[in-house]
Amino acid sequence: MTPVLEARNLKRDYHIPGSLFKPAKTVHAVKGVSFTVEQGKTLAIVGESGCGKSTLARMVTMIDPITEGDMLIDGRKVDIAHEPLTAEMRSKVQIVFQNPYGSLNPRKKIGDILTEPLVINTKVPAGERRDRAMAMLKKVGLEEKHYGRYPHMFSGGQRQRVAIARALMLNPRLLVLDEPVSALDLSVQAQVLNLLADLQDEFKLTYVFISHDLSVVRHIADDVMVMYFGEAVEYGSRDQVFGNPQHSYTKTLFAATPRVDVDAIRARIERRKRVA
Ligand SMILES: Nc1ncnc2c1ncn2[C@@H]1O[C@H](COP(=O)(O)OP(=O)(O)OP(=O)(O)O)[C@@H](O)[C@H]1O
């Protein structure tokens, strides 16, 4: 089967112009990484701040151009530096950002936030846009009454549910989740992770999940790529990478990370739900 996402030796440089006192320089943010993600699977990308995770996320989401290498989505090469992006390709990949407080326009009602991608990218009529947004609210665990409310009326976890709903409005194939639960309390993190797992099952979604939190990665990933200074120093199945890390950086990273038991939190939430 053709993978939903394939990256071949992807590179991204940033050119920083010089000034009177500083020479111009080039930052090699991503130095040639290759990976594939099959439909319905989750690739987690981990690494410390500055290793190139967000740059990679922006290339995969077709926000940033690729400096060198190839990226294929559903087997089709994408190169936004040389070819205009079609609405069809744009709708295939959507992103959810870390900060649910900054990523939603505070002046727009939830209904407008959800229908906006349809207004911009499709010819779906207004009535159907509303119906689809209402249905999506329910899919992410919110209610129809939330349609007319503003983002400030929601908790962090609810806002992240809205951001996920917005990302799904165009029926994407691939979701790039850039630290989607890092800003949330632990118990809320588990709820949002459960939601993402349910949505993945229901819509056969493919995830690229960027995180610095190894306990979260262990919970959700099928495959794991560890990045270090722009390079993929480790790439394999979750069990391979966690069970038998090869690179010294990965070993140090794992040794330095306290394990938060997400499974235990999830079980506790389920128990509470049963009691309530
Ligand atoms: N727009 C830019 N212009 C110049 N350099 C940049 C730009 N964006 C990122 N960089 C540099 O590229 C490298 C990788 O940054 P990137 O933000 O992708 O890393 P990251 O792993 O996502 O870090 P964080 O978790 O802190 O966001 C860093 O050295 C960063 O300073």
pLDDT of residue 215: 86
Dist. CA 245–CA 46, nearest whole Å = 13
Binding site membership of 191 for ligand 1 (Cβ less than 6 Å): no
pLDDT of residue 275: 67
ipTM: 0.95
Arithmetic mean of pLDDT, 31-40: 97
Measured in angstroms, how far is the CA atom of residue 269 from the centroid of ligand 1? 36
pLDDT of residue 260: 52
For residue 243, is pLDDT > 70? yes
For residue 258, is pLDDT > 60? no
Span 192-224, pLDDT tens digits? 999 999 999 999 999 999 998 888 998 899 999
Measured in angstroms, how far is the CA atom of residue 212 from the centroid of ligand 1? 14
Nearest-atom number in ligand 1 for the CA of 16 is 4
Nearest-atom number in ligand 1 for the CA of 12 is 12
Q: How far is CA 235 from each of CA 9, 70, 238, rounded to the nearest angstrom?
A: 14, 18, 9
CB-neighbour burial class of residue 19 (10 A; exposed 0-12, middle 13-18, buried 19+) = exposed
Measured in angstroms, how far is the CA atom of residue 54 from the centroid of ligand 1? 7
DSSP helix/strand/coil, 143: coil
Neighbouring CB atoms inside 10 A of 99's CB total 16
Give the residue whose CA is nearest to atom 22 of ligand 1: 54
For residue 268, is pLDDT > 80? no
Binding site membership of 63 for ligand 1 (Cβ less than 6 Å): no
Binding site membership of 65 for ligand 1 (Cβ less than 6 Å): no
Instruction: Give the domains, in start order, of the chain with CATH numbers.
Output: 5-275 (3.40.50.300)
Give the residue whose CA is nearest to atom 1 of ligand 1: 14
Among 147, 42, 167, CA closest to 100: 167
| Contact (Cβ atoms closer than 8 angstroms) between residue 118 and residue 169 | yes
Binding site membership of 190 for ligand 1 (Cβ less than 6 Å): no
For residue 53, is pLDDT > 80? yes
